[in-house]
Each structure stands twice: as C-alpha cells, then as structure tokens.
Structure 1
Amino acid sequence: MALVFSALRVLLGLFFSVCGVVKVTDRIAGDVYQQMKSQFVQFADVFPLKEFGYKPDPIWYLETVGWVELVAGFLLAFGPQLLQEISNFVLTVIMIGAIYTLLVLKEPVSMCAPATVCLGLLLLLNIRGRDRGSKAKFE
C-alpha cells in the first residue's frame, strides 16, 4: 500500500509541476498559456485579499502561482519528507483558493472538478503521511 501512495505522490507532484510550467512559459503549450493569461485577469478580480485592498497584477499572479506549483510539485514528488509535507500544505492552499475563485466566478461544476480532485488527493496524502508518522511513534 505504501508503494501506491508513493506513486500517487510522485504522479501528483509531477502533475503540479507540469501545470506550473504551463503557467510560467508559453513554449510548452502556447494556446493554454494565452487562455490562462485571460483567465487570471478574472481570477485577480476576485482575489480573496481584495477585500483588504490588495488586487494582484494578473500576469504576476499567473507567474507566481505557476512557480509555486512548479517548485512545490517537484518537492512533493522528489523532496525529503518534511518538504513533501510543506509542499502538500502549500498546494492544498492553492487548490482551496482555486475552488474559491471558481465558485465566486460562478463557473460550472465541471470547471471545479480538477481542483477538487487534486485537493482530495492532496488531503489523502496528508492523512496517509500523518498515519505513517503516528505509527512510527508507537512502534
């Protein structure tokens, strides 16, 4: 079973890394990058900290999310356990933010599904990591 969770962690980490690369550069998938640029204009309009007077620049927002996904995804896949746990938390926060943003924009449920599935898998890995840590304490 540990092998299944390790494989899930690596695959999910690589998925986030690829998603991050697509947000950072237009050389991988130019049309997807252009679509992301236009979407992040909307995302910046409903940014959660907007209520406190902060609205990010859409391009800066896109690149920041991309770099965070790229690095955190890589660390989730290949980093030491502590960095895997930190990366899991960071990516969980990003997925919660993505779901919040899509719900505020009243996007269809099908648009929320990928972020929701990723959030569920991250939480599953988090629970599995805690179970593994608590077992080690009692053995």
Structure 2
Amino acid sequence: MEQAETALAERIAERRAGLGDPRALVGEMRRSTLLVPLADGGLWSARSGGVRWVCGFTDEAALARFALHHAPGGRSLEYAELLGARIVDEIVPSLGEPAGLAVDIATQDGSMFFPPVAGIVPDGAAVDTGEEGRA
C-alpha cells in the first residue's frame, strides 16, 4: 500500500508542476488506497462550488494534517481504507448530487481534486455529459 500512495502523491506533484499525463494521474488515483475520514455515520465530505467533495488522503501523515484542523478537540479521526476506484465508481454516484474526490486537501501544494466529469466518474454521475441523476 505504501508504494501506491507514494506513487499517487508523486503523480499529483507532477500535474501541479504542469508535467505528467492527466490520464496516468487518474489511473493512479483509481489504483490507490485512500484513507477517508468517517463522520456522522458516513464518509467525511465538504461542499464547495456546488459539488460535494469526498475527502481522501494518501497516507496517515496527510490525514493527520487534516485532523489538526477538523477533529473535534484534537481527537484522532476514524477512517476507512478505500480504493480510489470504489470512491469514484460507487460512492460518488450513490450520493445523488454532483460529487467528486478531493485528495490531500490539508497538504500545502499537494492537493488534487477529481471533479464529477466524464473519465473520472461514471457518465451517469458526470456533470458534463447531460446524464446527471440517471445513475
């Protein structure tokens, strides 16, 4: 698992630097196991720009940076380990609203957003196909 997480963080760094292949980044996200905090009986998410973002982290250090600002009273966060593919193929479409995946949001210059568009989420959940809500 460590190697895949490192690979995703490396692909994110490449894209943020304007390098690398976006398809390779999406592929790496799909193959990677992400740590997703649990909250209120489900997965921790945030809404921004009309999109619900499921938040995932590439490793415990990235999750710990997030927990510093979002865990009540500085407590540790419980989390699920989920494949990126499961998040974007199953969980995102089940939310019933435009949703995507936000990775490492508490890592300065290391976050990446995977929006609800074709090629990332199933067409029925993508906002750019005209099929939203048919999933």
TM-score, with normalisation over the residues of structure 1?
Answer: 0.37
Q: Radius of gyration: which is bigger? A: 1
| Structure that is richer in strand per residue | 2
Larger relative contact order (CA 8 Å, sep ≥ 6) = 1
| Structure that is richer in helix per residue | 1
